[in-house]
């Protein structure tokens, strides 16, 4: 039997038409039917609520061409993400499991930006996989809701291109090492904005120079990552290259020497990594300029980027944030 709290059960909307769905707290071998478009969302044999799209859908998407090269808005400086100066909890006292820190995932600095609610609410783990972040997310005092397109662990199966939730349903969203696997990331980011409350925080990571893996579609640069978030309407507060997950390390562990122990894979590329760093330092000593700096080296050679952003409290959302919106782009 699938059990959902009353709070979570009240967050659902039809992913086809965004009409609110009446979802009971306990479901067993049942199904939810949208009262508007009559789409049916079943509970599968694993006890998961399957609210993925039942048929093709279109999605309106537009871009404001702001003349970036001619003085438009620029991405933030790629500085290391600092510790939140006003954390809501003692982030140093929280034990972070190793599975959450390996590769392009969580850092203690990112953890310090996890919000803490005094009144409850809900948070969304977009692309939750095995729900590895569920336990550590308890620090937020928000009810954890994990969704993924497939897999046996999530209670809810959903499509990031058309999230089955009402507008402004969540106080907080995380998405770690997921965005590179989404076919239409500009659509998915707009959906994240739609279901996040004004003032809410969105924290995550995205691959850059990792090898192709698990049907990854797009590995954006820092400019691409910023543009993806900014063009959707997010206020990007922090953006940094993952300095502990450079391309040689990512390539060695994920592609060059698959299934090798991590230490052995790292040792295989260590001589090249040392020569790379020395050569870049030499170049910077010969000609000290931004393009030869350590920051430039990290930006150009990182395996991925981390970000912290918010949905502004006073900004128009994408037109599809309303169930009455029309549609224009295939999903």
For position 58, what pLDDT does the model report? 93
Q: How far apart are alpha carbons 92 and 316 in whole angstroms?
A: 37
Q: 61-65, 111-115, 117-121, 313-317 — which is least confidently predicted? A: 313-317
Q: Return the CATH number at 143.
A: 3.40.50.150
For position 69, what pLDDT does the model report? 57
Looking at residue 93, the DSSP 8-state letter turns out to be G
**DSSP helix/strand/coil, 85:** coil
Task: Tell me the two tokens of residue 57.
Answer: 């859908």
Higher-pLDDT residue of 121 and 328 is: 121
Q: 24-28, 113-117, 275-279 — which is least confidently predicted? A: 24-28
Q: How far apart are alpha carbons 258 and 241 in whole angstroms?
A: 24
Asked if the structure places residue 16 within a domain, the reply is no
Task: Tell me the two tokens of residue 251.
Answer: 């390539």
* H or E element, residue 195: helix 185-195
Domain count, the chain: 1
Q: How far apart are alpha carbons 20 and 36 in whole angstroms?
A: 9
pLDDT average, residue stretch 138-153:
96
Q: How far apart are alpha carbons 176 and 155 in whole angstroms?
A: 18
pLDDT tens sequence across 175-218? 999 999 999 999 999 999 999 999 999 999 999 999 999 999 99
Which of the four pLDDT bands, split at 50, 70 and 90, describes residue 1?
A: low
Asked if the structure places residue 126 within a domain, the reply is yes
Task: Tell me the two tokens of residue 107.
Answer: 């850092």
pLDDT tens sequence across 118-137? 999 999 999 999 999 999 99
Which of the four pLDDT bands, split at 50, 70 and 90, describes residue 324?
A: very low
Asked if the structure places residue 192 within a domain, the reply is yes
Looking at residue 143, the DSSP 8-state letter turns out to be E
Looking at residue 13, the DSSP 8-state letter turns out to be B
Share of the chain above pLDDT 90, in %: 82
Which of the four pLDDT bands, split at 50, 70 and 90, describes residue 75?
A: confident
On the question of pLDDT at 100 being above 70, the answer is yes
For position 328, what pLDDT does the model report? 37
Higher-pLDDT residue of 25 and 115 is: 115
On the question of pLDDT at 249 being above 80, the answer is yes
Asked if the structure places residue 262 within a domain, the reply is no
When the pLDDT of each residue in the chain is averaged and rounded to a whole number, the result is: 91
Give the list of residues 6+ apart from residue 23 with CB closer than 8 angstroms, or none: 4, 9, 10, 12, 32, 49
Look up the domain containing 118 and give its range.
Answer: 55-61+73-245+302-321
Asked if the structure places residue 170 within a domain, the reply is yes
pLDDT average, residue stretch 61-82:
76
For position 269, what pLDDT does the model report? 96
pLDDT average, residue stretch 106-125:
96
Asked if the structure places residue 177 within a domain, the reply is yes
Asked if the structure places residue 150 within a domain, the reply is yes
On the question of pLDDT at 318 being above 90, the answer is no
For position 217, what pLDDT does the model report? 97
Q: Tell me, rounded to whole angstroms, the distance of Cα 179 from its chain centroid.
A: 6
For position 326, what pLDDT does the model report? 35
On the question of pLDDT at 319 being above 50, the answer is no
Asked if the structure places residue 288 within a domain, the reply is no
Q: What value, to the nearest 5°, has the Cα angle with vertex 307 and ends 150 and 260?
A: 60
């Amino acid at each position: 039997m699938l059990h959902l709290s009353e709070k979570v059960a009240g967050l659902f909307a039809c992913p086809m038409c965004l009409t609110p769905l009446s979802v009971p707290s306990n479901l067993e071998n049942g199904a939810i039917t949208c009262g508007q478009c009559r789409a049916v969302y079943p509970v599968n044999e694993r006890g998961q609520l399957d609210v993925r799209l039942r048929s093709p859908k279109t999605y309106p998407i537009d871009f404001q061409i702001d003349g970036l090269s001619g003085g438009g808005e620029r991405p933030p400086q790629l500085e290391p993400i600092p510790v939140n100066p006003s954390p809501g909890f003692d982030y140093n006292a929280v034990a972070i499991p190793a599975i959450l820190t390996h590769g392009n995932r969580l850092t203690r600095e990112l953890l310090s930006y996890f919000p803490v609610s005094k009144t409850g609410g809900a948070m969304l783990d977009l692309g939750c996989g095995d729900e590895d972040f569920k336990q550590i997310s308890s620090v937020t005092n928000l009810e954890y809701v994990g969704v993924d397109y497939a897999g046996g662990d999530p209670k809810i199966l959903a499509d990031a291109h058309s999230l089955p939730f009402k507008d402004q349903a969540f106080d907080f969203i995380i998405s770690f090492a997921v965005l590179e696997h989404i076919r239409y990331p500009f659509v998915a980011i707009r959906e994240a904005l739609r279901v996040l409350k004004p003032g809410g925080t969105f924290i995550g990571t995205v691959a850059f120079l990792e090898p192709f893996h698990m049907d990854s579609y797009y590995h954006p640069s820092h400019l691409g990552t910023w543009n993806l978030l900014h063009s959707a309407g997010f206020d990007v507060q922090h953006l940094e290259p993952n300095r502990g997950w450079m391309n040689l390390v990512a390539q060695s562990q994920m592609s060059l020497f698959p299934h090798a122990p991590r230490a052995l894979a790292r040792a295989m590329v260590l001589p090249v990594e040392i020569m790379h760093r020395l050569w870049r330092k030499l170049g910077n000593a010969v000609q000290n300029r931004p393009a030869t700096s350590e920051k430039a080296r990290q930006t150009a050679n990182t395996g991925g980027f981390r970000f912290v952003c918010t949905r502004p409290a006073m900004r128009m959302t994408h037109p599809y944030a309303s169930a009455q919106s029309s549609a224009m782009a295939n999903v």
